[in-house]
């Protein structure tokens, strides 16, 4: 059987390579595993540097594709004495060191000053990493605001996240996909604090190991988790002044012993901010000029606590509980003059001043087991449970006034009670081992999401609530996904090959319960898709490498978009789901070149089949409704250049430029084919000033673009300036940020679908000043020792 499997793999890949490896595990004298220790491979003859690696959470390290020669290992970690091995020879063989114990050198700690740190942006072969803690401008941001700052990422006028010109990004939290979609996901990201986030990993071409969801790839939000020895933590508090004042606070701790690690974070966000939405539409010879301003009052709390138990040098058990609890209010004032064609004064004015209250509880639990030995075997097993509850209530008074607004022609007052319940279960197993001188990975996943969306509408007559059964409904959606994958990677001298295949079966059932019966009441689906992926990297020389990557992705409709019932925004506008909405599929091909491990240039092409967009459609009675439909096929050609560099000891720069062309080929007769060239820029300058002050000038810009295939938007951007100063051996940090100084981030655009034309604009309280204090406590000398590894991040990334 073993020979049969080997033969199948050989036939599938068509290539066999030889590989030499050097591996081992780093511990201290008490056999406690040491993470992020620097291991260097040097030649025995002249001690010249060959490669560097960094130990993982279990202390394990491995060098791959080691050429035949004689070597030594050098192990360095601040707080420990350097270790240098005896000479060993690689001759078509591998070398396993087993456990390497480092001896503490605590006396050296008082004499060492750490100056190295991670760069703000790291461009790696498979992803771009935005290190949040190394940019002062993000202090006090929400998770959504932080994404806008990330290189290559855009947030469109409907708060959809775009990467490389494509919408449909799958959001991961600590390597786990978020099941929240649409506005629920946006609301959750707004409650996350940048102070809780360690880094953003932007993965545009995920391998078969990842879920196939997400046309534009994956953004993994890595939450902070201090890996230092001993006990340490931080306290932070900030205040933001925009149209209103709002505050954010956070506390985190981490304690690590020989046998376990316990960590936790609590953060909150209190206060008000504003938004506006102007939609001037022309429909059937009548102009409706709706102008809405909103005040949001948010009270959100985030909690995260977890533990890792090291049962042996090979096995780790982990428990993690995260929670998000918010209580938010919003007051919207909307005024819509209604003017017939040829008239200069309105014949009628609709005034709708809505009040909304939303209470959200989001709980998520994870149990993890990890096994990893020195022979290359690794097993990860995860079981996840989650509950999302949202209770939304809205009061919507509609008053139709005469043209000069002196009397009320008609008044309609409604109250909406729209609770949402989401239950989540997921289990996944991933296994990896050495195979055919390479690395074979395989895994399986079972996930289930059950949602219950109630929509109760009450007509308020003479102060009494009367249930409107014809407008009320309950929508239940059940989705199960079974997935399995196979992935193989191999290195031969200058070549690195990776190929994989993923299978996903989707079984969904959406059922609407209401007094309005139609063929849309229940829609069931069951379909199986195959998602191939692969990549080939050629290391031309020490400074130049070329990578070619392909992947196929899927974007499933949000469950809110499948609900066919009509949700009335006001008496002139409503939204409606589409139960027959089909998933959209994307084929991605990307060619990239990296020079000197810093300058990266990439050219990508994507073809999106059955592209779905949120379109505004007109009805004969003068109303309009939002509906999501498959309207086109989209082609995206993207050219990106990114370059992080250090000009001198006091000036660092990161610049990212992305130019893409979007072409929409209509598959719906009401959709107008369109194309657009867009230029997206992100740049950051970091200056180290006297008196331990850091200054950052950053900004982003997007030229005119197409949003959702329908909106032609104008250019927008933001200019930000931030200052930071450290006190008391870096224990206390003071930051002052000025964001969107020129107030250029609000959007403007036009759209046409059928006979309906809209000229719109919108934005929020983006221009503000923020002041923030952060205090770090705990075993500072050991904490510095653990951060020693960051000084050779660039060398590690060369492997």
Under 8 Å between Cβ of 71 and 43: yes
Where is average pLDDT lowest: 100-109, 168-177, 646-655?
100-109
pLDDT bucket at 455, cuts 50 / 70 / 90: confident
pLDDT bucket at 623, cuts 50 / 70 / 90: confident
Instruction: Please check the confidence at residue 300 and state whether its pLDDT lies above 60.
Output: yes
Under 8 Å between Cβ of 232 and 780: yes
Average model confidence (pLDDT) across the chain:
82
More confident: 755 or 609 = 609
Which percentage of the chain shows pLDDT scores above 90? 30
Query: In the predicted model, what is the mean pLDDT of residues 56-77?
Result: 84
Query: In the predicted model, what is the mean pLDDT of residues 449-473?
Result: 88
pLDDT bucket at 27, cuts 50 / 70 / 90: confident
310 CB-contact burial (10 Å; exposed 0-12 / middle 13-18 / buried 19+): buried
Residue 562 has phi, psi (to 5 degrees) of -90, -15
- What are the C-alpha distances in Å from 482 to residues 211, 372, 380, 507? 11, 26, 18, 9
pLDDT bucket at 543, cuts 50 / 70 / 90: confident
Angle, alpha carbons 730-787-722 (nearest 5°): 45
Where is average pLDDT lowest: 61-70, 301-310, 319-328, 376-385?
61-70
Quote the pTM value.
0.75
pLDDT bucket at 453, cuts 50 / 70 / 90: confident
Q: Where are the beta strands (DSSP E) in 311-435?
A: 315-340, 348-372, 378-402, 408-417, 420-435
Where is average pLDDT lowest: 128-132, 373-377, 501-505?
128-132
Instruction: Provide the pLDDT for residue 21.
Output: 84
Instruction: Please check the confidence at residue 108 and state whether its pLDDT lies above 60.
Output: no
pLDDT bucket at 293, cuts 50 / 70 / 90: very high
State how far the Cα of 784 lies from the Cα of 232, in Å rounded to an integer: 11
Where is average pLDDT lowest: 119-123, 292-296, 403-407?
119-123
pLDDT bucket at 462, cuts 50 / 70 / 90: confident
pLDDT 10s digits, 663-686? 988 888 777 788 889 998 888 898
186 CB-contact burial (10 Å; exposed 0-12 / middle 13-18 / buried 19+): middle
Query: In the predicted model, what is the mean pLDDT of residues 345-353?
Result: 92
Query: In the predicted model, what is the mean pLDDT of residues 557-565?
Result: 71
State how far the Cα of 452 lies from the Cα of 560, in Å rounded to an integer: 11
Instruction: Please check the confidence at residue 411 and state whether its pLDDT lies above 70.
Output: yes
More confident: 593 or 51 = 593
Under 8 Å between Cβ of 268 and 300: yes
Instruction: Provide the pLDDT for residue 781.
Output: 41
State how far the Cα of 185 lies from the Cα of 391, in Å rounded to an integer: 15
pLDDT bucket at 374, cuts 50 / 70 / 90: confident
Q: What is the largest CA-CA distance in the chain?
A: 95
With a CB cutoff of 8 Å and minimum separation 6, the contacts of 186 are: 144, 159
List the structure tokens of 201: 């990993």
State how far the Cα of 250 lies from the Cα of 238, in Å rounded to an integer: 9
- Which of 383, 368, 370 lies closest to 431 in space, CA to CA? 370
State how far the Cα of 135 lies from the Cα of 502, in Å rounded to an integer: 37
H/E segment holding residue 136: none
Angle, alpha carbons 303-305-306 (nearest 5°): 155
Query: In the predicted model, what is the mean pLDDT of residues 237-260?
Result: 89
Instruction: Provide the pLDDT for residue 503.
Output: 97
Instruction: Please check the confidence at residue 708 and state whether its pLDDT lies above 90.
Output: no
More confident: 250 or 184 = 250
pLDDT bucket at 121, cuts 50 / 70 / 90: low
State how far the Cα of 250 lies from the Cα of 252, in Å rounded to an integer: 7
Where is average pLDDT lowest: 417-426, 684-693, 751-760?
751-760
Instruction: Please check the confidence at residue 379 and state whether its pLDDT lies above 90.
Output: yes
State how far the Cα of 527 lies from the Cα of 584, in Å rounded to an integer: 13
Instruction: Provide the pLDDT for residue 575.
Output: 74
pLDDT 10s digits, 782-796? 333 333 232 223 222
pLDDT 10s digits, 415-438? 999 898 989 999 999 999 989 888
Q: For the chain, which domains are there?
A: 2-110 (2.60.40.10), 121-316+348-797 (2.40.170.20)
């Amino acid at each position: 059987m073993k020979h049969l499997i080997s033969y199948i793999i050989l036939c599938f890949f068509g290539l066999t390579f030889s590989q030499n490896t050097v591996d081992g595990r780093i511990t201290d004298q008490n056999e406690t595993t040491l993470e992020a220790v620097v291991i260097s491979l040097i030649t025995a003859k002249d001690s010249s540097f060959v490669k560097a690696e960094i130990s993982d959470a279990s202390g394990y390290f491995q060098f791959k594709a080691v050429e035949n020669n004689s070597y030594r290992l050098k192990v360095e970690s601040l707080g420990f004495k350097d270790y240098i091995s005896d000479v060993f020879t690689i001759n078509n063989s591998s070398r396993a060191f087993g456990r390497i114990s480092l001896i503490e050198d605590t006396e050296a700690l008082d004499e060492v000053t750490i100056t190295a740190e991670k760069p703000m942006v790291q461009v790696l072969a498979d992803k771009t990493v935005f290190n949040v803690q190394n940019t002062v401008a993000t202090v006090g941001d929400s998770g959504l605001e932080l994404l806008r700052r990330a290189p290559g990422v855009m947030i469109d006028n409907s708060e959809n996240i775009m990467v490389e010109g494509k919408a449909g990004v799958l959001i991961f939290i600590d390597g786990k996909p978020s099941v929240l979609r649409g506005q629920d996901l946006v609301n959750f990201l707004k409650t996350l604090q940048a102070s809780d986030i360690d880094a953003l990993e932007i993965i545009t071409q995920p391998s078969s190991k990842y879920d196939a969801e997400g046309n534009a790839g994956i953004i993994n939000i890595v939450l902070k988790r201090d890996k230092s020895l001993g006990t340490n933590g931080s306290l932070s508090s900030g205040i933001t002044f925009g149209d209103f004042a709002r505050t954010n606070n956070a506390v985190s701790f981490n304690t690590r012993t020989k046998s376990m690690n316990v960590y936790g974070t609590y953060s909150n966000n209190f206060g008000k901010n504003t938004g506006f939405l102007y939609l001037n539409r022309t429909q059937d010879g009548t102009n409706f000029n709706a102008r809405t301003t909103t005040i949001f009052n948010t009270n959100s709390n985030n909690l995260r606590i977890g533990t890792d138990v090291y049962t042996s040098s090979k096995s780790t058990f982990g428990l993690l509980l995260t929670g998000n609890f918010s209580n938010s209010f919003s007051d919207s004032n909307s005024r819509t003059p209604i003017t017939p064609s040829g008239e200069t004064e309105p014949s009628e004015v609709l005034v709708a001043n809505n009040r909304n209250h939303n209470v959200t509880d989001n709980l998520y639990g994870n149990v993890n087991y990890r096994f990893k030995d020195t022979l290359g075997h690794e097993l990860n097993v995860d079981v996840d449970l989650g509950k999302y509850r949202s209770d939304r209530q809205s009061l919507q008074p509609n008053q139709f006034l005469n043209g000069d607004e002196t009397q009320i022609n008609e008044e309609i007052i409604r109250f909406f009670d729209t609770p949402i319940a989401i239950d989540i279960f997921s289990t996944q197993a991933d296994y990896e081992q050495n195979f055919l001188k390479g690395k074979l990975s395989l895994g399986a996943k079972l996930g289930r999401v059950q949602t219950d969306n109630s929509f109760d509408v009450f007509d308020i007559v003479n102060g009494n609530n009367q249930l409107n059964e014809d407008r009320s409904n309950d929508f239940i959606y059940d989705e199960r996904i079974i997935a399995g994958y196979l992935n193989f990677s191999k290195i031969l001298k200058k070549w690195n090959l990776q190929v994989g295949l993923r299978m996903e079966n989707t079984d969904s059932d959406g059922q609407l319960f209401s007094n309005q019966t139609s063929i849309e009441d229940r829609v069931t689906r069951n379909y199986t898709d195959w998602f191939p992926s692969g990549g080939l990297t050629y290391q031309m020389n020490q400074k130049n490498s070329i990578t070619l990557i392909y992947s196929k992705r899927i974007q499933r409709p949000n469950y809110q978009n499948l609900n066919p019932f009509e949700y009335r925004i006001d008496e002139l506008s409503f939204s409606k789901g589409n139960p027959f909405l089909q998933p959209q599929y994307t084929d991605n091909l990307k060619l990239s070149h990296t020079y000197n491990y810093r300058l990266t240039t990439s050219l990508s092409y994507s073809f999106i089949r059955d592209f779905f967009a949120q379109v505004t459609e007109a009805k004969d009675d003068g109303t309009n409704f939002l509906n999501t439909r498959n309207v086109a096929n989209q082609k995206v050609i993207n050219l990106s250049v990114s370059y992080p560099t250090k000009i001198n000891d006091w000036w660092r720069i990161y610049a990212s430029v992305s130019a893409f062309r979007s072409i929409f080929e209509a598959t719906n007769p009401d959709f107008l084919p369109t194309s657009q060239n867009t230029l997206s820029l992100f740049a950051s300058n970091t200056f180290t000033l006297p008196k331990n002050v850091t200054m950052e000038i950053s900004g982003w810009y997007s030229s005119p673009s197409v949003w959702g295939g329908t909106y032609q938007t104008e250019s927008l951007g933001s200019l930000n300036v931030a200052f930071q100063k450290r006190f008391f051996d870096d224990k206390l940090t003071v930051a002052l940020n000025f964001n969107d100084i020129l107030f250029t981030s609000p959007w403007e655009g036009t759209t046409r679908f059928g006979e309906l034309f809209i000229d719109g604009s919108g934005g929020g309280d983006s221009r503000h000043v923020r002041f923030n204090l952060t205090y770090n406590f705990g075993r500072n000398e050991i904490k510095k020792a653990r951060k020693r590894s960051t000084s050779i991040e660039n060398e590690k990334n060369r492997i």
